Chain A
């Protein structure tokens, strides 16, 4: 099976042109092609994971094969050798499965959600293209290929956010997402350029082998920091997080697939792939950990005040991604990847649930919902299950993975980050249940009535909900040969269950739920009064710390101002100089033309006078000068 891993991205990659050029008019067929391709990839991924775990392929002994993509031989040794290769180890095998699973479910779900949309076929085309790029990214065996697919993933994100391109907000959001990611990719690209400068290769394994012999640690740190810019952008970490909430303008299945489960996790995946690089420079690791931790807290605080159901989930995604990055930073790749896996499942569940609600109500403001539990039983049940997982209630998936991160921070001595993580866990359960109590229970605030979604939408919800319950056990501390013995860095380690951490985080989560119930469920504490009391804080949070405004100011005033200045300079200074040369010539021509009186005698006279002078000049020496 591993030998055919390259087929995994190829199926959906072929589905895209087929849908775009052949079946675009035939909606059902398009959907079938897209779903069929991703289903094939899913089956193949299952096989790959199975073979990986049973045939002794480990993190140290991956399977790698490659074709030459572009090579410049050079006179003596290779100048450049870029390979299109496949690297299969447990890390990529797990990731493949996660991506194909979520993608498959989302595509099935989309059949219902996108029903009747004029761009139905195109949507499946884009989804296929995205899946292909994402799977390519996962399988990449070198930085170049990773960057290649990284950018393609960004493109698909752009296309899908802007799917409703007739909405100006969607068009703006897609632009913003692409440009912000471009800024991050600029850093990423520079980062692996520095690596190439030092080691003359892009290949992960060759880099890992050469890393101990790095010529210059400072340069290596620069490279690592720059590469980290990539994840900051793609995984929406502070300060390049601004695109993710706006990205919710895209169709909800897209938000579930791309902006919750897979693409935003690419940043985390990159950190895991290049973990050896980060692990070798503690200072950069620390930076990674603090950026992650800060983002987790930062995003959670913003989520407290938002009213849009998808935006709340978006901020929660940011916050959870912060967790994962923090896990990478504190040195536990296992915990980060484990949380990535479980989070992909329950966040996809939450987004699809939100999509189900939006599909029924055509409304995204939670304060205009209410009482949905009566109308949409399946959706409500699965959504609550997802929220419980996110909040970290045992024994659901989120509990185990979040716990492992907190444990890693705690046991590796990052007490500050551990406390921060616990606070975030409290905030998370609070804002999630604020959403649930407001939207699903309580009174119908705007009198909107929902209806349960069709089967093709609820079945994926149920599958994901089931997985939410069971997926945690693959990595639970008491399970032998679980997740931590597949995906690890260095030694396969097995953290002892720490009951202090477990109990604290569970209690904190329950506290959050209770508080949310008090305020929004029973309404014994007035939310308005609280907002009034801490008015300034509420305003700042509601406006997302005014970071968007700051960027907008920077772009409008500084960048566009500079551009206008350059334009003026070009048109008036540079062009002025060259036009000035032309004008001088023209002006002197206008003046000099008066020399040409047009009178023939004068012309003839001047001509012969010149002859005389010329003859004098030439002939004088010949005839012996003036004697």
Chain B
């Protein structure tokens, strides 16, 4: 018997893997990939909650689609920033992007 917890488990694990990727990687594009994984995990949860808890409305799916939209925009803008960064520093390492310093 498949339950809500199965899906949440998948979402949770995927989220953590994505988080690790976002935190531990050096390449800014890899960081973006981690973030995409995290967003996917969230979408799984949204869809699952919708399916199990509130099946007569599709609000969860609506939200998931919004998240996808935002994710697409985020990737576009994020990559633009990465490219801009690359132009100025000739690498895409987030370690060296410390312009937020004092």
Measured CB to CB, the residues of A under 8 A from B are 593-594, 596-601, 603-605, 608
| B52 contacts A by Cβ under 8 Å | no
The answer, among A593, A597, A604, A605, for a CB contact under 8 Å with B98, is: A597
Taking CB atoms, residues of chain A closer than 8 Å to B97 are: 599-600
Query: Chain A's nearest CB lies how many Å from the CB of B38?
Result: 11
Given contacts A594-B102, A598-B101, 6 further A-B pairs with CB under 8 A are A593-B102, A596-B100, A599-B97, A599-B101, A601-B94, A608-B19
Nearest B residue (CB) for A593: B102
In the bound assembly, the distance between CA atoms of A593 and B100 in angstroms comes to: 11
The answer, among A594, A601, A608, for a CB contact under 8 Å with B95, is: A601
Taking CB atoms, residues of chain A closer than 8 Å to B102 are: 593-594, 596, 598
Binding site secondary structure of chain A: helix
Q: Report 23 cross-chain contacts, Cβ distance below 8 Å, ordered by A residue.
A: A593-B102, A594-B102, A596-B101, A596-B102, A597-B98, A597-B101, A598-B98, A598-B99, A598-B100, A599-B95, A599-B97, A599-B98, A600-B94, A600-B98, A600-B100, A601-B23, A601-B24, A601-B95, A603-B100, A604-B22, A604-B23, A605-B23, A608-B19
Query: Chain B's nearest CB lies how many Å from the CB of A368?
Result: 81
Taking CB atoms, residues of chain A closer than 8 Å to B22 are: 604
In the bound assembly, the distance between CA atoms of A599 and B98 in angstroms comes to: 4
In the bound assembly, the distance between CA atoms of A608 and B22 in angstroms comes to: 11
Nearest B residue (CB) for A594: B102
In the bound assembly, the distance between CA atoms of A596 and B101 in angstroms comes to: 6
Task: Count A/B pairs, Cβ under 8 Å.
Answer: 31
Nearest A residue (CB) for B102: A593
Q: Is the CB of A608 within 8 A of B100?
A: no
In the bound assembly, the distance between CA atoms of A597 and B22 in angstroms comes to: 18
Query: Chain A's nearest CB lies how many Å from the CB of B36?
Result: 15
The answer, among A593, A597, A598, A608, for a CB contact under 8 Å with B23, is: A608
Nearest B residue (CB) for A611: B19
Contact mask B16-30 → A, CB, 8 Å, 1/0?
Answer: 000100111000000
Nearest A residue (CB) for B35: A604
| Nearest 5 A/B pairs, CB to CB | A598-B101, A598-B98, A593-B102, A598-B100, A599-B98
Taking CB atoms, residues of chain B closer than 8 Å to A597 are: 98, 101
Taking CB atoms, residues of chain A closer than 8 Å to B19 are: 608
Taking CB atoms, residues of chain A closer than 8 Å to B23 are: 601, 604-605, 608
Query: Chain B's nearest CB lies how many Å from the CB of A613?
Result: 15
Query: Chain B's nearest CB lies how many Å from the CB of A476?
Result: 98
Taking CB atoms, residues of chain B closer than 8 Å to A605 are: 23
In the bound assembly, the distance between CA atoms of A273 and B50 in angstroms comes to: 100
